[in-house]
Amino acid sequence: MEFPVRSVSRVTSSLCALLRLLFEKSRKALCSNKMFKLPLGTLGSQFVRGASRSTSIATRSASVRFASTNSTSTGTFESLLTSRASLVSVTLFSVGSIAWYTHLYGSLPFIGEAHASSLADEGLHPPAYPWPHKGWFDTFDHASIRRGFQVYREVCAACHSLDRIAWRNLVGVSHTVEEARAMAEEVEYTDGPDDNGEMFQRPGKLSDYLPAPYPNEEAARASNSGALPPDLSLIIKARHGGADYVFSLLTGYIDPPAGVDIREGMNYNPYFPGGAISMARVLFDGLVEYDDGTPATTSQMAKDVVTFLNWAAEPEHDERKKTGLKAVILFSTLFAISIYVKRFKWGVIKNRRIFYKPPTDQAH
């Protein structure tokens, strides 16, 4: 099927005329509106005129090549499409059209919907809080760990377990041996079998792990409307954002905004993915009474329990930093000594000079 150059020229001219008319009408509409002072219509017209001139030049050059070489119409059409002028014209027209639409309507519709959908599905990104243990040489606030454990025992332990922490782990971190042993003995643990092959109850010991609130997963789901409360041993490491996310989640409960429907039994929290979370707000001012007299505000309790959970996820945190500092000092010293020994040992060989003394004729 033939596709003459004249037909290409006519189609191109018609398209350019149509685009010129469209931008002229847009320019008149923009100029009639006092809100738009920028000459976007003029820029669009210049865009189309430039595209028309470039396309006309490309068409004329294509027709000359067609007449001189007697090539087929398909080859002429491909040369027209691959010409640089046509590609530049189409690119400029596309960019200008998008800029014009964005100036009139604010943004492209699918981009706004995708951004809103991403925020709703992934939740708000938590801000970065200045935790006192985030520095290279900083350790945990152990007073905050003690208060955080109190918040966990009185508030969080009713639903969430802490399977990886034993009573002995608290010794020397937040409690003394006597305090940890006294708290462990308050809990009854199932042990056995005894000499008769039966299980029995006994007071807890330092070697026992903190008790779980539910005997199994099914009981946990049945008590929480089908939702499974996660274990908090590694919750700081298991969530993107770490301590910042958990703190924002505990303090971020608000009323759902207009247009957001939350089904019965759910609560709105913008930091939770999807916005709907089954866990209700649990921290309120004055909920616990700290032993050291610290005011138990919502943010203070959230900060303390997050510090405790951070320690639970990384109980080796302080020791790791101390060991790392010692290793840096040790290896730095060894590196300096090795550099000195290397230069001292190889200095003679590297700096020596070898001269050649030709043999001289000895007098006979």
16 is in an annotated binding site: no
Q: Is 125 annotated as a binding residue?
A: no
Q: Is the peptide bond before 193 cis (omega within 30 degrees of 0)?
A: yes
Q: What is the DSSP letter of 267?
A: E
What is the three-state SS of 137-197? CCCCCHHHHHHHHHHHHHCHHHCCCCCCCEHHHHECCCECHHHHHHHHHCCEEEECCCCCC
Locate tokens 């028309």: which residue?
52
Contacts of 287 (CB under 8 A, 6+ apart): 154, 155, 296, 301
Residue among 267, 287, 273 nearest 152 (CA): 287
- H or E element at residue 24: helix 5-32
The CA distance from 145 to 307, in Å, is: 6
- Written as one letter, the residue type at 111 is I
For the beta carbon of residue 182, count every other beta carbon within 10 angstroms.
13
Report which of 129, 128, 122, 156 is spatially closest to residue 270, judged by C-alpha positions: 122
How far is residue 242 from each of residues 134, 246, 249, measured CA to CA in Å?
A: 12, 7, 11
160 is in an annotated binding site: yes
Would you say how long the chain is, in residues?
A: 364
What tokens does 125 get? 């990104």
159 annotated as belonging to a binding site for a ligand: yes
Which amino acids are annotated as binding site for heme c, given as ranges?
Answer: 156, 159-160, 279
Which amino acids are annotated as binding site, given as ranges?
Answer: 156, 159-160, 279
